[in-house]
Structures are given as structure tokens and as C-alpha cells.
Amino acid sequence: MVDSNAKLLLYMDAVAATFPRADGDKVRGALSMIGDPPRVQLLALRRYIRKAKSLDAQWVWDQDHIRAFEHGAASAHVRAEIDKVKSAFQTLNPGYTLGVSPIRNLARQVGKFKGNASVKQAATGLEQDCLKAMDNYPDNPDEITTQVFRTFLGHCSVNPEPTSAAPGLSDHGQMNAIDFVVIKIQGQKLIAGTTTSNIRDAWDAPGWTEKLQAAVKSAGNVFKGPLPSPREPWHYTLAKR
């Protein structure tokens, strides 16, 4: 009889193999980069199942695509709009400026996913639910039980819902989103960053949430946000031209 954790790994591999070839290569590559613990891979796999129809279109750019973007007109447009927001913010808040997030490649997305507290908590509960569901599965997945498990995993709820996107699927991977952080110019000290647990103290209480919104509006309201769910007062998207 196969150990339950080893059995779960077998079924995860079998489900990863059900994706079309190009998507499957992306999924398996991301899961391999995530590595240990396997439960975090399981949580990411759940998201890949849910995003299966749009996986290729949403997937993070590779380094060649990132370099091409950074030297193109689209990147110049984004930088110009960011500069407008930064200028407005500095005018409205003397002594402070904004930092912005770069394009988030796959390795950076993996790091943020694995380091996120909500991911760790959700992954633990999901693993327990999957192990219970697999009690009556055969030790070795066949075509039918693989599809049964894929369906179960895709529909399985988690608590909490992770506040970090599964690696490969972040809006930052194609520069569709910008994270603004507040920096005190003197000493270049970070005042309000992107830690979810600090939103109330770092953003809401000092008023930076509203101050950033005011700067975005003053700069022409080209950026849309902030992200309401999961709530991220620093997260904005740039309207398509």
C-alpha cells in the first residue's frame, strides 16, 4: 500500500499531465520551481486547473519577452504614466515619493507565493481535504480517478483564499499591474510596503491609501484601483490604450 503523501504526489503528477502539452510544460515547470513543501504545489495546481482556459494568455512573460517589452513603446508609455503619478504624489506629499514594482518574472512569483502566510495556511487545509477525499482512490491513478481528482481539486474551497497569485499567473507577469510603495525621501526609508498584514497600520491609519488615490486622480486617473479583493491599497492596473 502506498503512503498517503506519496499517493497524493502521484495524483498531482497525473493531473499535471492532463493539461495540453504547452500548458502542461508551464505547469510542471512552475511546480518544479515551487518544490517543497508539496502542499504548496498542490495549492498552485488547484489554481492552474481553475485558470485552464486562459492559462497560456495569462502566463508570465519569459525573459526575452520582458527584455523586448522594456525596450519598446509600451514600456515607455507605462513609465511616463508612472512618472505622472510620482510627480503628483510628491507635490501633494512633500518629503515623500513612490517606488514601483518591476515586471515580476516566474522566479519572483514563486518566492512571493512560498513566502505568503495565507498561502501556507490555505495549502495546509487543502492538503488535508485532498488526503481525506483520496481514501478510496486506487494507489496508482488511472484515467478515471485522475479526472475525478482533478475535478475535486478544481472545485475545492480553501480558507483563507491566498492573497498571492499562483506562480505564472500574477498580473505583474505581463505588466498589467503596478504596486506603488511609499518612501520617505530622506534616508530612502520604506514607509508603506506590500505586506497585507500591515495594511491598517501602514496604509489606512496614516492616510496613505487615500493619498495615493488622490495622486492617481491628480495625474489623470489612468491607473485603476486599488485592488479590492484581496484588498491591496498599493495595487493598481493601467487602462489599456
Q: Helix/strand/coil (H, E, C) string of 189-227?
A: EEEECCCHHHHHHHHHCCCHHHHHHHHHHHCCCCEECCE
Please check the confidence at residue 69 and state whether its pLDDT lies above 70.
Answer: yes
- According to the model, what pLDDT value does residue 240 have? 62
* Lookup: cell for 34: 515551487
Instruction: Dihedral sign for Cα 33, 27, 231, 212, please.
Output: positive
Q: Can you tell me the mean pLDDT for 197-212? A: 97
Residues forming beta bridges with residue 91, ordered by sequence position = none
Q: What φ, ψ does residue 35 adopt, rounded to 5°?
A: 65, -135
Q: Which residue has the cell 477525499?
A: 133
Name the 3-class secondary structure at 235.
strand
Please check the confidence at residue 241 and state whether its pLDDT lies above 90.
Answer: no
* Closest residue by Cα to residue 110 from 196, 176, 208, 44: 44
- According to the model, what pLDDT value does residue 238 have? 85
Please check the confidence at residue 239 and state whether its pLDDT lies above 90.
Answer: no
Other beta carbons less than 10 A from residue 197's beta carbon: 10
Please check the confidence at residue 23 and state whether its pLDDT lies above 80.
Answer: yes
Q: How far is CA 28 from CA 43, 109, 165, 168, 212, in A?
A: 13, 15, 17, 11, 39
Q: How far is CA 116 from CA 85, 142, 165, 194, 196, in A?
A: 28, 34, 10, 11, 9
Please check the confidence at residue 1 and state whether its pLDDT lies above 90.
Answer: no
Please check the confidence at residue 166 and state whether its pLDDT lies above 80.
Answer: yes
What tens digit of pLDDT does each residue of 3-15 get? Answer: 999 999 999 999 9
Residue 182's contacts (CB-CB under 8 Å, 6 or more residues apart) are 96, 97, 98, 99, 190, 191, 192, 208, 212
